[in-house]
Structure 1
């Protein structure tokens, strides 16, 4: 197989894999279930085999990706319509800590040991099981935690404090490139941005590693050269 043939088939395989991933949705890359993981693994393997098999060409790659993508799409459609099949294919969440007590049967059922449970809790910022009232093991392998009231973080309403408005931070410069779409969102122009940069000692966007805007706060600008 020539380099030209490999290049063409690899490019087409890449485009079709990307298209299938977009069609199937974010579950192929985020909140991935065991079924999604297997499907993504096999899809890549099918394309790989079709790519380096001398008897397979562009037509075979397109057919392979299209057929597998159709099967996955149909499976996702069926799981949306049938709760029983959804339970079988995607699994269901398990309560592994209930009212502060560890459910050993659920741990064993999900092939979890105590070290793994503690690791999952630490990833959520919980360093002691005694802080947990309920812990749910989700179908994607992550945990959701309901803390005991004693360990629940204090909220402003608990202290009768006046709530403040929440604003979404927006990046205006990344790696020396101005993000004009975000400038439009905050109703600012390039002239305003350059003025802000000048106040921070930067004259060119290419000098800026990162610039973040939050309404009501000064623009955060970090250049590539940070003085210690």
Structure 2
């Protein structure tokens, strides 16, 4: 009965957490703030601790997750509707480098040291603080950087070069399997895809690890065997 009880709690908790993440949105993962981090930890603890508590049943797990999820949902709703509440509940970005100068007070306020700042800058391909004009520490802990003009790569527009067409690449084959739902997006059917493969001396799509279509470019094909 103990194993059945644990299985039931895990099963119910799994689907409730899955449902809750769908309702709350992707920001719980992709743009996690301090509040989001705490809320996710608590959700995990509610299920984890209840698993090994004999006095806690499925009803208590459902109730706890729904109440905590409801509180998070209300908080997210408030921050969306009332702009002034965002600073209190989510925090605000901090300018830690301003006009090329490190703002020590902002570093101290955000509990950052120089080594941590350098690490964040390197993640943005800035290997010297002298290259940076502005750096903003976002609420999710990432950093946004604006380089000084002398260190910004020139664009095609700057060099008066013709601009290429920007298109989204579309996966056509993955792991030897045709992604049929993507074929209409490129205006192909399976027969047309096979013909394109034969043009590149590929006899079967099952030999392909990955194939990608992009407008204005030939079909990119990567077989299982590296040539």
Measured against the shorter chain, the TM-score band is: over 0.9
Alignment of 1:142-161 (within 5 A): 142-161=142-161
How far apart, in 2, do the equivalents of 1:11 and 1:196 lie?
Answer: 46
Residue pair 1:135, 1:145 contacting (<8 A) in 2 also: yes
Q: Deviation digits for residues 171-211 of structure 1, max 9, x if unmatched?
A: 11112221112111111111122222233343333322111
Alignment of 1:194-205 (within 5 A): 194-205=194-205
1:3 aligns with: 3
TM-score by length of 1: 0.94
Q: Deviation digits for residues 111-134 of structure 1, max 9, x if unmatched?
A: 111111111111111111111111
Q: CA deviation at 1:135?
A: 0.7
How far apart, in 2, do the equivalents of 1:163 and 1:97 lie?
Answer: 33
Residue pair 1:131, 1:147 contacting (<8 A) in 2 also: yes
Q: CA deviation at 1:13?
A: 1.0
RMSD of aligned residue pairs (Cα, Å): 1.5
Q: Deviation digits for residues 2-32 of structure 1, max 9, x if unmatched?
A: 3333223212211110110010111110111
2:220 aligns with: 220
Q: CA deviation at 1:160?
A: 1.8
Gaps of at least 5 residues in structure 2 are none
Residue pair 1:96, 1:137 contacting (<8 A) in 2 also: yes
Segment drifting more, 64-73 vs 199-208? 199-208
2:66 aligns with: 66
How far apart, in 2, do the equivalents of 1:2 and 1:224 lie?
Answer: 47
How far apart, in 1, do the equivalents of 2:203 and 2:2 lie?
Answer: 50
Tell me the matched-pair count.
Answer: 227
Q: CA deviation at 1:213?
A: 0.6
Residue pair 1:28, 1:36 contacting (<8 A) in 2 also: yes
1:118 aligns with: 118
How far apart, in 2, do the equivalents of 1:75 and 1:54 lie?
Answer: 32
2:26 aligned with 1:19, yes or no?
Answer: no
Alignment of 1:68-83 (within 5 A): 68-83=68-83
Residue pair 1:51, 1:61 contacting (<8 A) in 2 also: no
Which secondary structure state, in structure 1, belongs to the residue aligned with residue 13 of structure 2?
helix
TM-score by length of 2: 0.94
Which secondary structure state, in structure 2, belongs to the residue aligned with residue 13 of structure 1?
helix
